[in-house]
């Protein structure tokens, strides 16, 4: 009887740790954390691209406005 308890305890110690909440193994939890980090990095890169796109849109709109103002001023002087 004592030998079976010892073997059972040894088997439990050799088993990979499990999450107490969901029962996932430590490697599964680590893989999920890594996926989360990768997603956050991709999201940050997309946000940077979006900010750059917005900056270019504002710059193009500003250029168009200044160009329109310049042509309006030239047309007023010509008439």
Write the pLDDT tens digit of every residue in 5-20: 888 888 777 777 777 7
Structural domain of residue 67, as residue ranges?
31-79
Tell me what the mean pLDDT of segment 50-78 comes to: 90
Q: Is the pLDDT of residue 29 over 60?
A: yes
CA 79 to chain centre: 56
- pLDDT value at position 22? 82
- pLDDT value at position 57? 97
Split into its structural domains, the chain has a count of: 1
- Is 78 a domain residue? yes
CB atoms within 10 A of CB 29: 15
pTM, 2 dp = 0.51
CA 26 – CA 18 distance, rounded (Å): 6
- Is 51 a domain residue? yes
- Is 76 a domain residue? yes
């Amino acid at each position: 009887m004592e030998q079976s308890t010892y073997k059972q305890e040894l088997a439990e110690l050799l088993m990979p740790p499990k999450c107490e909440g969901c029962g996932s193994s430590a490697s599964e939890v680590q893989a999920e954390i890594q996926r989360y980090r990768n997603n956050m990095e991709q999201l940050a890169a997309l946000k940077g691209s979006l900010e750059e796109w917005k900056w270019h849109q504002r710059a193009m709109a500003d250029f168009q406005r200044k160009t329109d103002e310049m042509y309006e001023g030239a047309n007023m002087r010509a008439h």
